[in-house]
A and B are shown apart, each in its own frame.
Chain A
């Protein structure tokens, strides 16, 4: 059964760069989209972006070009970087997998990483 394990720095300052990594265990990288989603405290879910198994990326325009998603197939990992952080980037960040062809939803999800941005 596929399992996602994520990690990264949890306390950052404004203008710094967020860096999170998600490792995929028990499954293949191929044939899937690898996605980042965030949830500000007490609020709803926001899709950040995705990377396909062949490296094609898509981002939410709400990030205003500050986000980069990359992958390391040799390690079965994918990563998120968000530059020029503000307090509005404070959120729990989740990684998740979706099937590229079947459109079968985000499953599984990582456990989430709380990132707090302070001045």
Chain B
């Protein structure tokens, strides 16, 4: 199985300030089509996870532009340009290159 490792585990954030989360995979997620099969999800308190980013950098429909994804191969980053209070929750990265699909352990973002 591909192991996904996120850092940090806990992320104190300040509204209006930038924030970033890292995700590393144990194998390259680069597909032969040139895309890296890495998604980002946010699970707000008491809610189902919601898709933010797919294929490492493509923003899902309705996701604010302050969220951006980058990276290729085994190292990926999710950035929030200016944190808003509604961005608190647990962020997960997930590889969709090969089954079993696997998630990172999560990064909990809380207002500082």
Number of interface residues, chain B, beta carbon within 8 A: 26
Report how far A47 CA is from B61 CA in the complex, Å. 23
- Distance in angstroms from A61 CB to nearest chain B CB is 7
Q: Which residues of A contact B104 (CB under 8 A)?
A: 44
Report how far A109 CA is from B48 CA in the complex, Å. 7
B50 at the interface (CB under 8 A from A): yes
Report how far A21 CA is from B45 CA in the complex, Å. 24
In the complex, the answer to whether B103 meets A46 with C-beta atoms within 8 Å is yes
In the complex, the answer to whether A104 meets B99 with C-beta atoms within 8 Å is no
In the complex, the answer to whether B60 meets A47 with C-beta atoms within 8 Å is no
Q: Which residues of A contact B50 (CB under 8 A)?
A: 107, 109
Q: Which residues of A contact B39 (CB under 8 A)?
A: 105-106
A residues adjacent to B (C-beta < 8 A): 44-47, 50, 58-62, 94, 98, 103-107, 109-112
B residues adjacent to A (C-beta < 8 A): 31, 35, 37, 39, 41, 48-51, 53-55, 58, 60-61, 92, 94, 96, 99-106
**Can you name 24 A-B residue pairings with CB atoms under 8 Å?**
A44-B92, A44-B105, A44-B106, A45-B92, A45-B106, A47-B101, A47-B102, A59-B100, A61-B100, A62-B100, A103-B35, A103-B96, A104-B54, A105-B54, A105-B60, A106-B41, A106-B49, A106-B51, A106-B94, A107-B50, A107-B60, A109-B49, A109-B50, A112-B48
